Amino acid sequence: NGEMATLKKPAGFESTDAPVHRIRITLTSRKVKELEKVCEDLINGAKAKRLKYKGPVRMPTKVLRITTRKSPCGEGTN
């Protein structure tokens, strides 16, 4: 009974065995408005071509600074 294992495809159905390309784009900028505009343009382009997409994933923009006291000889100070 090999009939159960075979799957009959409906007429006019062709399998698309095209390779899947996964593309990750990382954009960095201090100007948030321009960055959001570029992201929106990319998403609109993907929507127009009916592509699957995820994102945008926002990265942290705040720069964290730790001040350390250094002496000229290279040793840390108290």
**Residue 18 is assigned to a structural domain of this protein:** no
Looking at the structure of the chain, the number of domains it has is 1
A 10 A CB-CB count for 43 gives 14
Residue 15 has pLDDT above 60, yes or no: no
**Residue 15 is assigned to a structural domain of this protein:** no
Dump pLDDT digits (tens) for 39-77. 999 999 999 999 898 988 888 777 888 887 777 777 766
**Residue 73 is assigned to a structural domain of this protein:** no
Q: What's the one-letter identity of residue 10? A: P
pTM of the model: 0.53
**Residue 69 is assigned to a structural domain of this protein:** no
Question: Residue 55: which region, alpha, beta or left (left: phi > 0; alpha: psi -120 to 50)?
Answer: left
Domain of residue 32 covers 28-56
Report helix, strand or coil for 76: strand
Find out whether 77 and 69 touch, Cβ atoms under 8 Å. yes
Residue 14 has pLDDT above 90, yes or no: no
**Residue 43 is assigned to a structural domain of this protein:** yes
Find out whether 40 and 32 touch, Cβ atoms under 8 Å. no
**Residue 38 is assigned to a structural domain of this protein:** yes
**Residue 47 is assigned to a structural domain of this protein:** yes
